[in-house]
Amino acid sequence: MNATAAPKDKPLPKPAPVVWLDRDMSLLAFNARVLHWAGKPDVPLLERLRYLSIVSSNLDEFFEVRAALYTSLAKPKAALSAIDAQAQEALSKVAHSLVDAQYALYNEVLIPALAREGVRVVSHSERTLAQQRWVKSFFEREVRPLLLPVGLDPAHPFPQVANKSLNFIVQLSGHDAFGRDNEIAIVKVPRSLPRFIRLPDKLSGKRTLFVSISSVVRSHLKDLFPGRTVGDFSQFRVTRHSDLSVDEEDVDNLRTALRQGLVHRNYGQAVRLEVSASCAEHLCQLLLRQFELPASALYRVHGPVNLVRLNQLIDLVDQPRWLFPRYEASYPSQLATGTSIFQQLQAGDVLIHQPYESFDGVLAFLREAVLDPQVLAIKQTIYRTGSDSVLMELLHQAVQRGKEVTVVVELKARFDEEANINWAEKLEYIGAQVVYGVVGLKTHAKMLLVSRREGRSIRRYAHLSTGNYNPKTARLYTDLSYLTCNPKLTQDIEAVFSLLANQSRIPRLNKLILAPFHLQRSLIDRVDQVARATAQGVAGRIVLKMNSLTDEKLMEALVRAGQAGVEIDLIVRGACMLPAQRPGVTDHIRVRSIIGRFLEHSRVFYFQTGNDQALYLSSADWMNRNMLRRVELAWPVEDAALRQRIVDECLNTYLHDTVDAWTMDADGQYTQVPPARSRATSSKPKAALSAQARLMARYSAQP
């Protein structure tokens, strides 16, 4: 679709300067919005615990990836520039505040709410004698054989402490077996031990009672040091920098280098230290010195040092009434069961809106390709697929059936490296062609290409997606799958696969837009076209939906367009560095974030000038890494009915959300959107609208 545009030789006026928002502050603000869900009384109780766990998991990844990049926490403050020192101090203050809010919610709201329902995590001081005896027996039988306390002395230095593992530091008095008075010991708690243990019903009465593994170890520390007196002690957990760094141009085998790197990931630079709130100051200082951390990296917590493990408690409680009602995704509305998907695609492109429509449609497409004797070849990219994947098993079957299978595996998909390496080795072992993309770039594009003999010719069928080939996340993330046999589009996909395999030359593409070559420039040109048309008096409109917006050149283009009069709505789930609604600067730009039951993950880019519309789906967020350091795709949706469906479901509905939406204020802070008011009377609110709830209702009603 060609948007109306002014002549390109007439430059747009230079926009007023903008100071971008801080990316890391924006990430923490996103997590504060997620934490809000844990505090909502109308959310089922165990789901509130789950949101609390999600925030903890997000913060873990934030520290593992961002903290070491932001500043070196090991440096003394004097070694930092004034700007770095101020930025680090501000970021630390916000992070500490967010963690404090987590534990306040955990202790003051969620734990009491569980207790009112008869579910409690019982501390040692609260246990009856019978319960203490049972815990003692459990400790001796299941826990103690796995513990090996280490007393620190010149022959026993501080042991290696793995990333995010549970440990205890213990101060001892008295002499050891050799007459020495070494005072400090470390107890490492194995990951294999459950973090919560349910007490037998006969000891619980009519309640559901649990003990935490940290409480079990804590109450039996004296048993681990016979003849010594246990003084001060604390649980602690260290978070380490965990982004694998491999010089791809300096290794002969990337897969081998990454597998070796995985061994060392658990012992990278320490970036955060968590201890019990009651931890003695001298023990805190000892740990900070050991891990070479400043005081700002210390987090005193009122509860377990790892709230991520609350997921185990959710599973053990096993109360469906305290969970969201089960949502069964409908089979894709455009696909008819019992009819060849290949035949259906010959009649037109197919859109699947996940998780409202089932990922089973994608699996059915691949399954038909595997079983069809006329299918000669299957090519697919793999970024995150999980360790247990039906999709990967189907590719395995395709190889066994004699089809040519090519898989582009992204080995550097963060925290999925091991699963991807394992799948690459399995597929390579049985004869699939496995390639690892382009040196120095991550292959983040999601595409699947099927080549099928039909008469005397070969027709290609393809699947493109804004999400991953992961059936599990396809039930939790909102994404768009696009099935097509459009010859120009499938020819482009074939060309991109060839580029990834032989890296010979940048292909000429008909429909696809490819990063790192053209995507950023094409998007800037598209934004500028709308801006020029608007400057000439043609009404312009841009609506963008994505996960993150941090690319400066793209943000500069949006500011230019906004200052030219283009109305711009940005639906950005997470980090957004572009400030909205600043007088004289970004008056025409609005930013909102949707936080709901599902994780918003689809990327949709809509441009309108006058009556002309253009809409693209993409695997890429508007981040510098996606534009310049990854292989990403964007593709146009040219079918008018499908385009309107996407506008209705992914853009308009979200722009009218009054339940799960937050809007950015001029100061960069987010405010929850209040329910819309009726025009007839300001006191009577309209019915609240949740975009996700509306889509669930729409698709669950499908036959």
Rounded distance between C-alpha atoms, residue 654 and residue 638, angstroms? 22
Rounded distance between C-alpha atoms, residue 169 and residue 471, angstroms? 41
C-alpha distance across the termini of the chain, in Å:
34
At 61, phi and psi to the nearest 5?
-65, -35
Tell me how far CA of residue 677 lies from CA of 153, 317, 376, in angstroms.
69, 40, 58
Instruction: Tell me, yes or no, if 444 is annotated catalytic.
Output: yes
Retrieve residue 410's tokens: 């992204």
Active-site residue (options: 396, 444, 463, 588): 444
Residue pair 597/324 in contact (Cβ under 8 Å)? The answer is: yes
User: Looking at the DSSP assignment, which residues form a beta bridge with residue 234?
Assistant: 169
Report the DSSP pairing between strands 270-276 and 184-189: unpaired
613 three-state secondary structure: strand
Q: What is the DSSP string of 17-41?
A: P-PPPPHHHHHHHHHHHHHHHHT-T
Residue 671: CB atoms within 10 Å:
10
The DSSP code for 685 is: B
Retrieve residue 346's tokens: 């010959």
Long-range Cβ pairs for the range 550-553 (8 Å, 24+) = 550/23, 550/575, 550/576, 550/577, 550/622, 550/623, 550/624, 551/520, 551/622, 551/623, 551/624, 551/626, 551/627, 552/20, 552/577, 552/624, 553/520, 553/524
Residue 248: CB atoms within 10 Å:
16
Retrieve residue 35's tokens: 């934490």
Residue pair 359/389 in contact (Cβ under 8 Å)? The answer is: no
The DSSP code for 329 is: P
Task: Show the CA angle centred on residue 443, arms to residues 442 and 449, nearest 5°.
Answer: 175
Q: Which residues have C-beta within 8 Å of that of residue 71, sequence separation ≥ 6?
A: 80, 84, 87, 88
Retrieve residue 203's tokens: 């000891």
Q: Which residues have C-beta within 8 Å of that of residue 599, sequence separation ≥ 6?
A: 476, 477, 478, 573
Rounded distance between C-alpha atoms, residue 180 and residue 153, angstroms? 9
Active site residues: 444
